[in-house]
Amino acid sequence: MSDAPAAQSPWQIVTITRIQKRTPRVTSFFLQPSRPFAYRAGQHVDVRLTAPDGYQARRSYSIASAPETGETIELAIEKLEDGEVSPFFHEIAAVGDEFELRGPLGGHFVWSDGDGGPLLLAGGGSGVVPLMSMVRHRAMRGSLVAAALVVSARVWDEVIFRDELIDLAERRDGFDLVLTLTREPARRPADYARRVDAAMMVQAMTRLPAPPKLAFVCGSNAFVTAAAEALIDAGVPAALIRTERYGV
């Protein structure tokens, strides 16, 4: 018998290396892990904050960066007014700060280019974050898998990663982007200004060369319910649809 490795806490210390405001309510935090951190596009992490008296708060956040990005992990965190952890990130956290992180977590809402496609992705609000990891992974791998991403946001300035997504779509390499705004007129031709529905999903699928092999839907419970129903009404079998809900 060889010596067993010493038991290691699943938590590790990460350091904030960069902070970038993405939208009025969403900010990206770039984190340097202290231990090797290998993940798949779509996975999430648990974050744990500890008060001086030992009280701890824990929340889950999706990873926005692609596994190929390098050592740094990007979390895009939306500020919830009645939140406990997100206000800490938005109001207090600074470059150089350390906190505890666990992960990567989740083995269902994940995609690698080897899984193939076509892919139909739908994200509402900050539900675009794990889908961004998939889109970036696809681009960085030079993957030829066709993918269409439908992003729903209230207004143009709340579309997280908007300019990067538009740039990626303009490559015309098999990735296409559909934006829909629920409280403003559409800005681009062929975009929408309404909540997601079956007609929109049918249109999104016409941008793919074949029916989707997998669909990923992420957002609030209301968004995921609506988008998943829309996909089913558009003819996507329920068994191909993977969902991730914030819970509320």
Partner 1 sequence: MATRGFSSGRKPPTDTGARLPPGQYLEQGFPVLSAGPTPHVRTEDWSFTLKHGPRPIKKWNWAEFNALPLTKMTRDIHCVTAWTKFDTAWQGVLVDDILADAGIEPPTAFTLALGFDGYSTNVPTKDLTGGKAMVALLYEGKPITLDHGGPARLLVPHLYFWKSAKWLNGLQFTERDEPGFWELRGYHIYGDPWREQRYTNDP
- Minimum distance of partner 1 from residue 233's CB (angstroms): 11
49 or 186: CB nearest partner 1: 49
User: How many alpha carbons fall within 13 Å on the CB side of residue 141?
Assistant: 21
- Minimum distance of partner 1 from residue 54's CB (angstroms): 8
Residues composing the chain: 248
Q: Are 244 and 156 in contact (CB under 8 A)?
A: no
Instruction: Please work out, in degrees rounded to the nearest 5, the angle formed at the alpha carbon of residue 25 by the alpha carbons of 20 and 242.
Output: 95
199 or 238: CB nearest partner 1: 238
- Minimum distance of partner 1 from residue 99's CB (angstroms): 5
Q: Which residues bind partner 1 (CB under 8 A)?
A: 10, 13, 46, 48-53, 55-60, 84, 88, 92-93, 97-100, 105-109, 221, 225, 228-229, 231-232, 238-239, 241-243, 245-248
Bridge partners of 149? Answer: 121, 177
One-character DSSP codes across 10-46: SEEEEEEEEEEEEETTEEEEEEEESS-----TT-EEE
140 or 213: CB nearest partner 1: 213
34 or 187: CB nearest partner 1: 34
- Minimum distance of partner 1 from residue 83's CB (angstroms): 9
What spatial distance separates the first Cα and last Cα of the chain, rounded to whole Å?
49
- Minimum distance of partner 1 from residue 226's CB (angstroms): 11
175 or 246: CB nearest partner 1: 246
Given strand 175-181, what is the order of strands in its sheet?
175-181, 147-153, 119-124, 214-219, 241-245
Of 211, 156, 209, the residue nearest 184 (C-alpha): 156
65 or 243: CB nearest partner 1: 243
- Minimum distance of partner 1 from residue 20's CB (angstroms): 20
Q: CA 67 to CA 135: how far, in whole Å?
A: 11
